[in-house]
Structure 1
């Protein structure tokens, strides 16, 4: 958490530093010039890109002209043969002769035939009669009978690598079959003519099927094996065919920036994709375009560097010096009379003098506050001392009254009141001697109070010897909680004396404990033994009037604690659980007088 907070403070300092503000202001000042330069450069680049696309479109169109003418002638021949469907009634030598003559008269054709709807070749230029009913090619054209071009291989046809053109034949609206004309792949491949221009070409059909290609700077007759540089990233051939004639700039599948152009060879059926690197035909050389684009940035960067060093020399280093003074002042240094800035501007010298004057005034005020605090602490301790002396005086007067009392009952009642006053006196005596007044060590306070009661004979001083044991954990409470806690312990101890009896197992005993629980709460416990005859007796208090029990309940309520009483045949338990205020961290240790001196102070006037 500390590291994250420190990182956040550092980031905030950087974003609000003078250098950052200066860079922002100069950026705004130079922004119009930079925008004009960038706008002009972008217009030139855009025009260069547009002209590159137009040039690519033109060269793609010219390069694909022979392929376009070859495929269109094949479609025309197939449609002509399909129009003469009377030749296919039953097939025969006349049909084979017509198709053979068609193939012989064209160097680009290697096969022509007619396939009926059952997948049988009933007429061919070679005279063969084959069945292609199970071939994927036939199933495709039968499922969607329309003119098409593809390069799918078929082992039943002699030439495995061919470009095929098929046209459906209809008679009175019914599909009769398909006219098929095959051309060697090399014939279509050689028809791509880049005319010496570095253009990569690729022919595909309307369904996105690859037909043939020619790559720039390759030997003709060697088809390219990898079209990653020709194909655009994120666009399929089918999508390009659906978009029709177009040109655009994008990345190929290798991540390189290229221009692309799509030209229809046969509208809606066959397309040519042309591609080249933009730098090949760019109107601006790469270095010139980079300079035109980045010159505003270089100008801005140079201005920022000069401005930064100027401001650092005149302002920032002096402000850092002032900051170091402030950090030293926060660390405890107060004398800055000899500190000076190094040739700082007058405005910053005024700030430095103001800082030195401020430290002088704050040092004087701090000394005055420390003197006032020490004086008030002494006065507060003196108040506690006087209250303690007054309470001890009251206990001495009550001791004299006890001696003059005629009845034992009156002496008992006065002694109980005297014990309560002595408990209050012990609190003030503790606060008078303690180094820290904000918190009270409850364990030491209770140990002092119980010690007083034992010395004066209120506990364990009767006819029958009572074994007293205490167990106090180091617990701190507020001064407001110390009063009800000490009075509650006093009342509970007196109540335990009254009901303490010898159990069947041995001598009578009383246990007083103050324990810190795991959940942060504190439990005060007063447990005493009981004789068998006392098992049915109702719990009361030391003077028999019920006042002690009411006081215990009242003190427990003031502590906002839970009072729990358990009465068993041979023991009587009283537990009060409460939550102390969180102690303040302090390395100082509270000081208390030696054990036993409290009782002597309380009875000092009685001897």
Structure 2
């Protein structure tokens, strides 16, 4: 896949990835500026949403503010007539009755003494009041108070009670109480189709009025916050989840400082910086632009450069696999620079192919010449062997014939090497197992009987082995000398007769061991056989083992004689010329 190719090449980042990284660094300042501007505009949009909510909350609670403030103002006006309220219950009743009659929103007004007794009321009721209506003790701080409760004085009706303390010369004398039907206070907050949720709460955190006074009314409150903590005399806005788990903007506005506050909330209304898209896209728009730019850069780089690079790489792979004709190979819609590279590659393959053809012809010619040389050397050595064979037949003494025969065996070993090289497919590698088998076979023909005419059992085993041509000469001469010595000194030690074992064993990796073992009987004394041997064969064996860089081990046992040569097969590049 192209994206996998461009991702990483040889452990390094590809061209497309590096270009994308460079472009990313280049456009990073613009992206940061864009993100900053977008974030700034988004913050301003959020602030506008909260400011708008505060304005809506203030305007929509204006009627509620007017209602409560007017009730507090009326109660304060009545509380100024302290003497009338305390000394003349009848005039007090008349004043309160006129107050209720003048404003239809009031259903009750009364004066409560400091002992929580109704001194006078707009309805004429008097006497002690129930604990639910005991509001005078809550204004001991000499400040007005607004609460919502079920009034026993009004037969359990839900009312919004406004109380103003009556104070004379610093002494608390009671409070003036005005009751407003709860449904009237709630109706002022109702506005069908409006997205703002409104409620009115007191300084102590109690809910005074809502659009719907039901069990779900507290879900609109901010989660994890108490209303009493929000009672401040300055407007405030914030964003938070409500108790239903929805993110909302909240606005708190004072209706009566220190007494009553309005709370409004709505779903965040952030103005979109782009028409028809969400607000967060304004922040993510630089990221989107970067992604589009990187995608265009990636596709462009792959089309203009990367695909042509991989096309050239495929040509190189095909060339290494054996294809040499690229005269028809073309790049599709490649830039001029890649066409120049492609033409240079085609010209290079033509020149290399021509050089390769000439080299192969030269190698073939030299191979033929080398094989011809080996063939002629083999023929000459065989001719020498034939001449020596004629000389052996004319020799008078047994010692002369034995010496000439041993020299003839060495000549035939060399001829076997040249015959093997002449027939080999590769001149640099000689199959040692085949070569040794050929030499031993030749020795068996001429040496299977000892001097007493007794039969010699010769067994061989050669593991497949390939050695260099330089190692073949000392190995073959070594095997020849060892085999001739074994034939010369083989003995009949037991009923099994005379025997010789010649083995080439693979010991692992490139290490081999050539072993020549022969049986032994009673050895003649020097007086019995003064020509038992000169030691030339042993010296030649040690010399050939040294030329192989091998280790020679001799075990002269009573019943057998063992020779082991351990060596390492060399490749043609490791071999050194051997002078023989």
TM-score normalized by the length of structure 2: 0.55
Deviations 1:557-582 (A, max 9, x none): 22232322223332222222222236
Cα distance in structure 2, aligned partners of 1:562 and 1:426: 25
Question: Aligned with 2:460: secondary structure?
Answer: strand
| Structure having the larger proportion of residues in strand | 2
Aligned mates of 1:8, 1:344 — CA distance in 2: 18
Correspondence for 2:557: 568
1:511–1:314 Cα change, 3 Å: closer
Secondary structure, counterpart of 2:545 in structure 1: helix
Matched with 1:500 is 490
2:428 aligned residue: 438
1:420 & 1:331 partners in 2: Cα distance?
46
Superposition deviation, residue 353 in structure 1: 2.8
Larger radius of gyration: 2
1:500 CA drift (Å): 1.0
| 8 Å Cα contact 2:222-2:243 kept in structure 1 | no
Give SS of 1:477's match: strand
Is 2:570 aligned against 1:581?
yes
Cα 1:430/1:506, change in 2 over 3 Å? same
Answer yes or no: is 1:416 the counterpart of 2:440.
no
The answer to whether the Cα contact below 8 Å between 1:503 and 1:570 also exists between their aligned partners in 2 is yes
How is 1:25-174 mapped onto 2 (pairs within 5 angstroms)?
25-40=22-37
- Does residue 19 of the first structure (1) align with residue 9 of the second (2)? no
Q: Which residue of 2 aligns with 1:551?
A: 540
Distance 1:544 1:382 in 2: 39
CA-to-aligned-CA distance 1:433-454 (integer Å, 9 cap, x gap):
1112222211111111111122
Q: Give distance in 1, aligned partners of 2:525 and 2:282.
A: 107
In the TM superposition, residue 9 of structure 1 has moved relative to its aligned partner by 11
Change (3 A) 1:360 1:521: closer
Q: Is the 8 A contact 2:511 2:566 kept in 1?
A: yes
Which residue of structure 2 aligns with residue 249 of structure 1? none
- Cα RMSD, aligned residues only: 4.6
Q: Check conservation: 1:466, 1:507, Cα contact below 8 A.
A: yes
2-structure distance, mates of 1:8, 1:345 = 20
SS at match of 2:552: strand
Whether the aligned pair in 2 keeps the contact of 1:23 and 1:304 (CA below 8 Å) is yes
Query: For residue 96 of structure 1, what is the aligned residue in structure 2?
Result: none
Q: Spell out, residue by residue over 1:487-539, the C-alpha distance to the aligned partner (whole angstroms, 9 max, x if none).
A: 111111111112211122132121212222256532212111122x22999xx
Distance in 1 (alpha carbons) for counterparts of 2:479 and 2:350: 53
Task: For residues 191-210 of structure 1, give each alpha carbon's deviation from its aligned partner in whole angstroms, at most 9, with x where no partner exists.
Answer: 899997614159xxxxxxxx
Q: Which 10-residue stretch deviates more, 279-288 or 295-304?
A: 279-288
Deviation of 1:544 after TM superposition, in Å, equals 0.9
Aligned pair in 2 of structure 1 residues 335, 41: CA closer, same or farther (>3 Å)? same
Q: CA deviation at 1:553?
A: 1.8
Tell me by how many angstroms 1:331 deviates.
Answer: 2.8
| DSSP-derived class of the 1:517 partner | strand
Tell me the distance in 1 between the aligned counterparts of 2:406 and 2:532. Answer: 8
1:388 aligns with 2:378: yes
Change (3 A) 1:314 1:542: farther
Q: 2:362 aligns with which of 359, 372, 393?
A: 372
The answer as to whether partners of 2:7 and 2:13 remain within 8 angstroms in 1 is no
Q: Is the 8 A contact 1:468 1:509 kept in 2?
A: yes
Which secondary structure does the structure 2 equivalent of 1:527 belong to? strand
User: How far apart, in 1, do the equivalents of 2:272 and 2:224 lie?
Assistant: 21
Whole-Å separation in 1 of the counterparts to 2:553 and 2:457: 24
Does the aligned pair in 2 maintain the 1:14–1:20 contact within 8 Å?
A: no
Question: Residue 8 and residue 419 in structure 1: after superposition, are their counterparts in 2 closer, same or farther (change >3 A)?
Answer: farther
Q: How does 1:37-436 map to 2 (within 5 A)?
A: 37-40=34-37, 198-200=222-224, 217=242, 290-436=280-426
Shifted more, 301-310 versus 7-16: the winner is 7-16
Q: Call closer, same or farther: CA 1:499–1:49 in 2, change over 3 Å.
A: farther
- Shift of residue 32, structure 1, vs aligned partner: 2.4
- Structure 1 residue ranges (4+ consecutive) displaced by more than 6 angstroms after TM superposition: 7-10, 42-50, 190-196, 279-289, 540-543
Between stretches 550-559 and 346-355, larger displacement belongs to: 346-355
Q: For the Cα contact (< 8 Å) 1:336–1:356, is it kept in 2?
A: yes
Query: What does residue 471 of structure 1 align with?
Result: 461
1:329 and 1:551, CA in 2 relative to 1: closer, same or farther beyond 3 A?
same
Measure the CA separation in 1 of the matches of 2:421 and 2:530: 29
Residues 6 and 16, structure 2, Cα contact 8 Å, conserved in 1: no
Residues 165-213 of structure 1 show CA distances to partners (whole Å, capped at 9, x for unaligned) of: xxxxxxxxxxxxxxxxxxxxxxxxx9899997614159xxxxxxxxxxx
**Cα distance between partner residues in 1 of 2:359 and 2:288:** 58
1-structure distance, mates of 2:7, 2:539? 61
3-state SS of 1:24 partner: helix
Q: Distance in 2 between matches of 1:542 and 1:349?
A: 85
- Contiguous gaps of at least 5 residues in structure 2: 48-136, 139-203, 208-217, 227-239, 248-265, 574-580
**In 2, distance between residues paired with 1:16 and 1:398?**
75
| Aligned CA distance change for structure 1 residues 198 and 542 (closer, same or farther; 3 Å) | farther
Could you tell me whether the CA contact under 8 Å between 1:541 and 1:549 is conserved in 2? no
Residues 542 and 548, structure 1, Cα contact 8 Å, conserved in 2:
no
- Range with bigger deviation, 345-354 or 438-447: 345-354
Q: Which runs of 5+ in 1 are unaligned?
A: 1-6, 51-106, 109-189, 203-214, 220-228, 230-256, 258-278, 585-607
- Please say if residues 8 and 14 of structure 2, whose CA atoms lie closer than 8 Å, have aligned partners that are also in contact: no
Q: How far apart, in 1, do the equivalents of 2:270 and 2:531 lie?
A: 112
Residue in 2 that maps onto 1:525: 515
- In structure 2, relative to structure 1, the CA distance for the partners of 1:562 and 1:344 (3 Å cut) is closer
Distance 1:541 1:39, change over 3 A: farther
Partner of 2:523: 534
